[in-house]
Amino acid sequence: MTKIKSLTLLATLLGLFLHVASAQAQLVRTCVSMAKGNNANAASFCHCTTPCRTFAVAHDNTLPDGEITVLDPGDYGGLTITKPISINNDSVGEASITVSGGTTGIIVNAPADGNVNLRGLTIQGVGFGGGIGLRFNTGFHLTMTNCTIRNHTGNGIELFPTGNSNLSVSNTLVADNGGSGIVVSPTGSGIVKTALSRVEAYNNSGAGVFVSAQFSSAGTINATAEDSVAANNSGAGFVAFSPTGQSPTNLLVVRSVSSNNGTGLFASGAAATLRVGQSTVTGNTTNSWSTFNGGVLRSYGDNNIDGNFDGDPVNPTTIAKK
């Protein structure tokens, strides 16, 4: 009997050791490759000498706060991110994710304190139910740099945080989507800070950039768009939207261009404020700017508003430039 108990205890300890060893065997840095990658290499944890074929398998073999490196051009498949992680493509060519059938290319469900960094990725809808490019649900900070999101039947980028989050998008193209280019619309009660820099939103069927407190009745949304362009969108170029009773929504547009959209600038709702400075609004086919239901549009008085369908009326509120 004693021998049987000892064997049982040994088996239990061995199983525990193997579980811990497996968890610890994840790597800080993993790699993916189209040329020589194979998901069977997950047995070696997607080491860069034996890379895996897809982002999803590499993600599962990467330690929290680790990184996935792209070794060569290819289509690496969609994934759901559940940990703080970086995915890096430093100019090896197009590292793409093809989206079809109403799916989403990347879903971010990171921990509340997790940082997610994405660099050099292309998320491409293939034209038959291409779905959504990227959706951010949870995490503390999402940073997107040098990315392209295009040709989806829904929105290009959906930033839908449930808690306190910091969202940064730079040097990124969002184009040809069936919804809006970028939508910031929290679903929780946290403070959401969004910084868009050198973002280009072209030819989207909705707005170029849409910042909304539609689903949030507490907290605050503070967003900035600098050195950015919203052009040829069917809706407005830049939108701040906050229905009655919802969170304050603040959008600052500076050194940017809104051209050839339906409306250049749009603020809707008593808690929505859109401020604009050092920017150009031109060629918009319905209005240069518009406010609705108590929305506030404020100009720093140093913008170029000219050549729009409505004859370029003066903004109703002007803040003196300091």
Q: Which of 4-8, 49-53, 193-197 has the lowest mean pLDDT?
A: 4-8
CB 120 within 8 A of CB 95: yes
**CA dist., res. 262 & res. 249, Å (int):** 22
Summary mean pLDDT of the chain: 90
**Helical ranges in the chain per DSSP H:** 2-24, 55-60
- Please state, in angstroms and as integers, the Cα–Cα distance from residue 124 to each residue in 232, 255, 303, following that order: 19, 29, 35
Domains and CATH numbers, the chain: 62-318 (2.160.20.10)
Amino acid symbol at 164: N
Q: Please give the pLDDT value at position 25.
A: 72
17: pLDDT strictly greater than 60: no
Overall average pLDDT of the 146-155 stretch? 96
Q: Please give the pLDDT value at position 214.
A: 83
Q: Please give the pLDDT value at position 314.
A: 84
- DSSP class of residue 47 equals -
Overall average pLDDT of the 125-140 stretch? 89
For 154, residues 6+ apart whose C-beta sits below 8 A from its C-beta are: 130, 131, 132, 177, 178, 179
Name the burial class of residue 171, with classes exposed (0-12), middle (13-18) and buried (19+) by CB atoms within 10 angstroms of its CB: middle
Overall average pLDDT of the 37-64 stretch? 97
Q: 272 has which bridge partners? A: 249
CB 157 within 8 A of CB 182: yes
Amino acid symbol at 201: A
Percent of the chain topping pLDDT 90: 81
pTM of the model: 0.90
216: pLDDT strictly greater than 90: no
Give residue 225's Cα distance to chain centre. Answer: 14
**CA dist., res. 157 & res. 201, Å (int):** 11
CB 230 within 8 A of CB 257: yes
CB 238 within 8 A of CB 265: yes
3-state SS, residue 210? strand
Q: Which of 71-80, 176-185, 193-202, 209-218 has the lowest mean pLDDT?
A: 209-218
**CA dist., res. 68 & res. 31, Å (int):** 5
HSE of 23 in the Cβ direction (CA atoms, 13 Å)?
A: 6
**CA dist., res. 275 & res. 287, Å (int):** 17
Q: Please give the pLDDT value at position 189.
A: 84
Instruction: State phi, psi for 302 to the nearest 5 degrees.
Output: -130, 30
Q: Please give the pLDDT value at position 256.
A: 98
Q: Which of 11-15, 39-43, 58-62, 203-207 has the lowest mean pLDDT?
A: 11-15
271: pLDDT strictly greater than 90: yes
